[in-house]
A and B are shown apart, each in its own frame.
Chain A
Amino acid sequence: TQLLEQSPQFLSIQEGENLTVYCNSSSVFSSLQWYRQEPGEGPVLLVTVVTGGEVKKLKRLTFQFGDARKDSSLHITAAQTGDTGLYLCAGERNTGKLIFGQGTTLQVKP
């Protein structure tokens, strides 16, 4: 059973376009993390959100945690080719273990 549904699975856009990635669950999470992963490397943490309704910005990336702490979104403004990679959301339910979404492969074309 997949507790964290991430969509879309694949996204191919032109440089300069905007995009949003979603993570949805029927379960409440104590915190939710977003990672970015390059091929052949481990995931690197982008942000952690812990409060319902929280919005965090990291340059052109905006992360939002749903009011009920069941869902989250990642919005990228004016995508660049350097944003290409695999984006992963992961939720924690205060058990010490992360539940990962299926991942979103983003390709930004010049």
Chain B
Amino acid sequence: SQTIHQWPATLVQPVGSPLSLECTVEGTSNPNLYWYRQAAGRGLQLLFYSVGIGQISSEVPQNLSASRPQDRQFILSSKKLLLSDSGFYLCAWRDHGLASGRDLAKNIQYFGAGTRLSVL
């Protein structure tokens, strides 16, 4: 079975410090990978997604970057954190490609447990 791991669970960082959040997936190959940010009690905002190694698409301009050095590893980074970077960060995966017709239900994203980032 497939599993997704995200760490750390909680992080407190000073303004101006670097950031590295890691996400790994097991039990599947060539997944689509996603980074989201969520404000408290709100929906998810897509930050980055990747369809393969070294392929990163950015959805919103921001202080963060993403990298995919290996097939099942997705990293969210920043060189200098801002106060506004605080939030709950979620990694997700889904099967590569797009199912159609009755197989649309396969286009499901599975989420990690999230990282609570506090920038002080």
Contact = CB atoms under 8 A, between A and B. Distances in A.
A complexed with B = yes
Contacts of A43: 44, 90, 111
A64 interface: no
A6 interface: yes
Interface residues of B, number: 30
Contact of A100 (B6, B43, B108): B43
Contacts, number: 71
Contacts of A73: none
B98 A94 contact: yes
B90 A42 contact: yes
B105 interface: yes
Nearest to B45: A100
Interface in B34-82: 34, 41-46, 49, 51, 59
B108 A96 contact: no
B107 A45 contact: no
Contact of B98 (A45, A90, A96): A96
A103 B6 CA distance: 22
B9 to A, nearest CB: 8
Interface residues of A, number: 27
B84 interface: no
B104 A31 contact: yes
Contacts of B6: 42
A96 B107 contact: yes
A107 B104 CA distance: 32
A39 to B, nearest CB: 9
A56 to B, nearest CB: 10
A94 B98 CA distance: 7
Contact of A42 (B51, B59, B104, B112): B112
A40 B116 contact: yes
